[in-house]
Amino acid sequence: MTTTAATPAAPAADSRVLGLAHYAARGVLEHVLARHGVTFRQQIVLRAAVTTDAPQTPDDVVTQVRSSLKADPVDIRAILDELLARQLLVTDAAYLRPTDAGRELLAAVGAEVAPISARIWHGIPAEDLAAAGRVLALVTERANAELAALTT
């Protein structure tokens, strides 16, 4: 008589599973960022200031980052000050502009993370990624609505 080991069922998607995936991926990114002397939040704020078509004011960046990280505006402004002090961003009249050093930092981190990310995502069927994307977009929309209701 032969027996086969049962393959454990994948856990149902819930907040815990989502959180574990987020923190696992974030751990990889933070490891890379640490080698470049930058924190996760600094990278998020720098990316928000760099990856835009139009120049942004500090208020624009704070609004954008607050929307994604749900962070305190005072903390985001402190991070902007850190990036300005490190000359990864500069002010140009009322606008923030990335410096060559800021762009180079993001490019270096991106180049280092890309092959790791490719290994993490490798082999996941496109239809699974599409389904996960739809579910996560819906969860994000609903969680944002709940947070808005809690804070009004």
CB 89 within 8 A of CB 102: yes
pLDDT, tens digit, 9 for 90 and up, residues 82-104 = 999 999 999 999 999 999 999 99
**pLDDT exceeds cutoff 60 at 1:** no
Ordered domains of the chain (ranges, CATH): 32-120 (1.10.10.10)
**Cα–Cα–Cα angle for 112, 103, 73, rounded to 5 degrees:** 100
Given this model, what pLDDT does residue 3 score?
53
Share of the chain above pLDDT 70, in %: 95
Angle, CA of 140, 143 and 149, to the nearest 5°: 140
What is the value of pTM for the model shown? 0.85
Q: Where is pLDDT greater, at 10 or 25?
A: 25
pLDDT score for 102:
96
Q: Give the Cα separation of 28 and 116 in Å (integer).
A: 8
